[in-house]
C-alpha cells in the first residue's frame, strides 16, 4: 500500500468502541449501532456494569496502546491543550482521559448508559476536572452551534447511520476554525493479532471524504503513515 499524507482542498457542497471480552484483540467491534433493533441496550454486554468493567481492561490495555498510539494522535491533532474536544464513542474514556490530562476540555459522548456510568465513576476516582459527560442518541451528536473546536471519532465512523445528516450536525457544532478528526482501519488484510472489524464493515478514505463532502465539509487532510493499521482524516 502506498501510504502518504496529502492535502485535498475541495469546494462545494461518531458509538462506542466495543471490544471482545476474551481479550483476543483490542480492535474487534460488536455491531451495536447498525440497526434500530439493536438500539435497545437490554441484554447487551455493554449495558451490564460487570461486563463493562471487564471490557475496560481491554480498552485500557498496553496492547491497545501499541496499536492505537494515542499520544501520536494527540500530537498530530496539534496538541490542542485549552481546546474543547467532543469524543464521540468515548466508552470508558480511553481517549477522553488522555486528552483531558494533556489540557483539553473534553465532552465524552456515548450512546451507552453503562459506559457513561463507568466513566462517571472513573472521573470521580481519578479526580479529573475537565471532562463533561454527554449521553447522546443514535441520530445526533447533541452539539450546540459552534460548541466544539474538535470532534473526534476513533473506530466509530462505520457504526453511524444516516451519516450525511449526522455529520451535517457535527459541522454546525464546530467552531469557526474547528475540525473533525476520524481514526479508522484501512481496508487491508491483517494477521490474526489485529482483528479489525469485518472488511464489509470498514469504510475507505475515499468513501468517508465523499460522504463528508455531502455533509458540508470542504477541506481534507489525510494521514496514512502515522499509525500501523489505521488512517487519520482531518476535515473542515
φ and ψ at residue 62, rounded to 5 degrees: -60, -30
20 CB burial (10 A radius; 0-12, 13-18, 19+): middle
Domain of 45, in residue numbers = 6-235
Cell (9 digits) for 132: 463533561
> CA-to-CA distance for 236 and 234, rounded, in angstroms?
7
Q: Is residue 50 part of a domain?
A: yes
> CA-to-CA distance for 136 and 124, rounded, in angstroms?
21
Q: Is residue 111 part of a domain?
A: yes
Q: Is residue 61 part of a domain?
A: yes
Cell (9 digits) for 232: 487519520
CA atoms within 13 A on the CB side of 230: 26
Per the structure, how many domains does the chain have? 1
> CA-to-CA distance for 19 and 13, rounded, in angstroms?
36
Q: Is residue 52 part of a domain?
A: yes
For residue 121, the domain's CATH number is 3.40.50.150
96 CB burial (10 A radius; 0-12, 13-18, 19+): buried
Q: In what order do the strands lie in the sheet with 148-154?
A: 6-9, 219-223, 230-235, 174-185, 148-154, 84-88, 105-110, 131-135
Q: Is residue 1 part of a domain?
A: no
Tens digit of each residue's pLDDT, the chain (236 residues): 444 444 444 333 333 333 333 333 334 333 333 333 344 333 344 556 767 766 766 666 667 888 899 999 999 999 999 999 999 999 999 999 999 999 999 999 999 999 999 999 999 999 998 999 999 999 999 999 999 999 999 999 988 989 999 999 999 999 999 999 999 999 988 877 776 777 888 999 999 999 999 999 999 999 999 999 999 999 99
Amino acid at each position: 500500500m502506498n501510504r502518504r499524507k496529502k492535502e485535498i482542498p475541495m469546494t462545494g457542497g461518531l458509538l462506542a468502541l466495543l471490544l471482545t471480552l476474551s481479550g483476543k484483540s483490542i480492535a474487534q467491534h460488536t455491531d451495536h449501532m447498525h440497526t434500530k433493533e439493536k438500539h435497545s441496550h437490554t441484554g447487551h454486554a455493554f449495558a451490564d456494569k460487570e461486563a463493562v468493567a471487564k471490557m475496560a481492561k481491554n480498552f485500557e490495555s498496553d496492547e491497545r496502546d501499541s496499536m492505537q498510539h494515542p499520544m501520536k494522535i494527540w500530537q498530530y491533532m496539534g496538541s490542542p491543550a485549552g481546546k474543547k474536544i467532543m469524543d464521540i464513542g468515548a466508552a470508558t474514556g480511553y481517549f477522553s482521559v488522555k486528552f483531558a490530562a494533556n489540557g483539553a476540555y473534553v465532552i465524552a459522548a456515548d450512546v451507552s448508559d453503562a459506559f457513561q456510568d463507568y466513566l462517571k465513576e472513573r472521573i470521580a476516582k481519578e479526580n479529573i476536572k475537565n471532562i463533561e459527560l454527554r449521553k447522546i442518541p443514535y441520530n445526533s451528536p447533541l452539539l450546540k452551534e459552534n460548541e466544539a473546536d474538535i470532534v473526534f471519532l476513533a473506530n466509530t465512523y462505520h457504526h453511524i447511520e444516516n451519516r450525511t445528516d449526522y455529520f451535517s450536525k457535527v459541522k454546525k457544532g464546530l467552531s469557526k476554525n474547528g475540525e473533525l478528526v476520524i481514526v479508522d482501519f484501512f481496508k487491508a488484510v491483517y494477521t490474526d493479532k489485529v482483528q479489525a472489524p469485518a472488511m464489509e464493515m470498514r469504510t475507505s478514505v475515499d468513501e468517508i471524504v465523499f460522504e463528508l463532502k455531502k455533509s458540508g465539509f470542504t477541506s481534507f487532510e489525510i494521514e496514512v503513515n502515522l499509525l500501523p493499521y489505521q488512517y487519520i482524516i482531518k476535515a473542515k
